[in-house]
Amino acid sequence: MKLRRKGAKSQPTARHRRKRPSIEALLAERGVIVAVLISSGVPQRDRDDVAQDILLGAWRSVKRGMYRPDPAQDARKALRAWLYGIAWRKTGHYLGSAWVRRAVLHAQPLGRLREPVGIDLHAQIEAREVLEALADLPDWQREALLSVDDPESLVAYARRRGMKPGTAASRLRIAREALALRLRRRR
């Protein structure tokens, strides 16, 4: 026996026919959108971006056939009311987003840091020495050392190369010892 559904028996049908205003008609009512943005407290720096999102959302809704104004109502008033609702909802989403709630703008953001930014000169020299020593190694040792940085395991690396995992581990150990020896000689 099939249980009866609670609530509506079927989806409610739209009361009015679809209308498709042009993009120019939407752009002509941009003042309504900007008024909603200002009254909602959207900062000046973000108003153009949010207004663009609202217009794109409205245009997509028009293309999907979601704009169904009452024929008895003035066409311009209906469009303005519909755009107001979209702008109000999109502005609420924007103001509630984590990016807006946590953004801290500062004229000199690097001046707020406690430590100097960037790698110091000594670390750059050491990194260059390591890279030169790595370049001097034979190909199989360099490949074994670089395989450590791959997301795959050493066993998967060995299988891909057609060798036993013990052999791959031994080659990695030999390559590390050779790199350490070359670095000791350079210093």
Q: Which two tokens stand for residue 40?
A: 């909602």
Cα 25 to Cα 20: distance, rounded to the nearest angstrom: 10
Helices in the chain by DSSP H: which ranges? 23-28, 30-40, 44-63, 75-96, 98-102, 121-136, 139-147, 154-161, 165-186
pLDDT score of 177: 94
Q: Which two tokens stand for residue 131?
A: 């890279």
- Residue environment code for 40-50, b if the CB has 16+ CB neighbours within 10 A, otherwise e: eebeeebeeeb
pLDDT score of 97: 84
**Which pLDDT tens digit goes with each residue over 47-61?**
999 999 999 999 999
Cα 75 to Cα 15: distance, rounded to the nearest angstrom: 16
**Which pLDDT tens digit goes with each residue over 103-146?**
666 777 666 666 665 667 788 888 888 888 888 999 999 989 98
**What's the residue count for the chain?**
187
pLDDT score of 52: 93
Give CA angle at 57 (82, 69), nearest 5°.
25
Where do the domains of the chain lie, and which CATH numbers do they carry? 23-102 (no CATH), 121-186 (1.10.10.10)
Q: Is residue 148 very low, low, confident or very high in pLDDT (cuts 50, 70, 90)? A: confident
Among 49, 39, 51, residue whose Cα is nearest residue 86:
51
Q: Is 134 helix (H, G, I), strand (E, B) or coil?
A: helix
Among 25-34, 65-74, 120-129, 158-167, the range scoring the smallest mean pLDDT is 120-129
pTM for this entry = 0.49
